[in-house]
A and B are shown apart, each in its own frame.
Chain A
Amino acid sequence: MSPRPEDESCAAVLPLLEAYLDGELSPAAAAPVRDHLASCPACAAELRLATAIRDGLRGLPELDAPPTVLLRVRQEAGRAGVLAFRPPQPALRRPRLAALAAVLAVALLGATLLFQLLRSPQPVQPTPQEIAQATAQARYALAYIGRVSRRAGLELKDEILPRHLVEPAARTLSRSLGETPEPDAAPRQGS
């Protein structure tokens, strides 16, 4: 049974039921509502429905996002670079440093050779054997730089670079320029 529209008391009380239920009406405003509810079964039923709605809403559970969503958040945040402030991993840092050192070493050797050629009044005349060895070492250096670049992410021994690239190249360059080899330089094969 619903309140009759023509019932002015019901029409006045119905919009106040939620505030009345929450105890947010002043005592002066709540008193006539309470009196009406006591004598009007239809409005009392409306109050029960209002109570069921309020309690039903408050009984609805909060819901956790599924773990797959949180995983996707991490992945997307990582792709967007927002994890960049995480300390870089050693396995990623060292190859990059090694590649940079290789490039710098080749550039340094090139600059030294150019400086010596410009300074010397007599062009250096290396032997065919020295030219062949220098060519082989240059090829090795280029191949090594390419390999380092491709293997970014893999661990690399720091001492490989000076032992296999910088020191041999320096020895060959010194000999080509007519300087005395250092005492601890490794003997050349076949000599």
Chain B
Amino acid sequence: MSKRIEIKDLNIYYGKFHAVKDVNMVIEPRSVTAFIGSSGCGKSTVLRSLNRMHEVIPGAYCEGSVLLDGVDLYDQAVDPVRVRRHVGMVFQRPNPFPTMSIKENVLAGVRLNKARLTRAEGDEIVEKSLKGANLWNEVKDRLDRPGSGLSGGQQQRLCIARAIAVAPDVLLMDEPCSALDPISTLAIEDLIKELKETYTVVIVTHNMQQAARVSDQTAFFNLKEHGKPGELIEIGSTEKIFHNPDQKATEDYITGRFG
């Protein structure tokens, strides 16, 4: 089930440091939205605020609201643990649990929510998720081997399988290909195009070709100057942002005349 995200007047702080200022955007279900912008402009912070993962850092808090199909993630009664169950995340570097087998890695999230899992149910979820992550054919014969024995690209797809195994509504990806070689990157990009049939996908990337290849919508973040909070400069269809942006800063960044 895919959901619509609406960000309203979002401000994020790390202690006294104002990291992100006044972000407003709408992310439609079954689409891929790319966040681009230079390092330190807050795009990863905004991404992490979509499943409240930024709160892991002590002193982080935010103002404004993030609505998931109309429900505010920052409502008093909302439990961050449940938010993360519905908004999955894939990280910059592949991070399968080293002490678990491939199979156990895929089931890691499922086991949290289901106390009893029959072997047949487990096998079904493992196969479905690994197929969903285009990894099944490569690992089906060694499901009981440690996940850390796979190549970087395979590990990252294992992490995607782990994230989709719990059937989230939204999938967040924080530079998922930055630690991978070009062939693995292509495999992940193909996968992202398939994932958007089922999920709302938000991806942070430094690679503008990647944003252009995979996303339907692109958001450009920037800093006014060093030490100031990051801001959302422009958001629109990828086609428009890359060929006919409204803002000069966007055009400069896209064409490489930045800084």
The answer to whether A and B belong to the same complex is: no
> A residues touching B (Cβ–Cβ < 8 Å)?
none
> B residues touching A (Cβ–Cβ < 8 Å)?
none
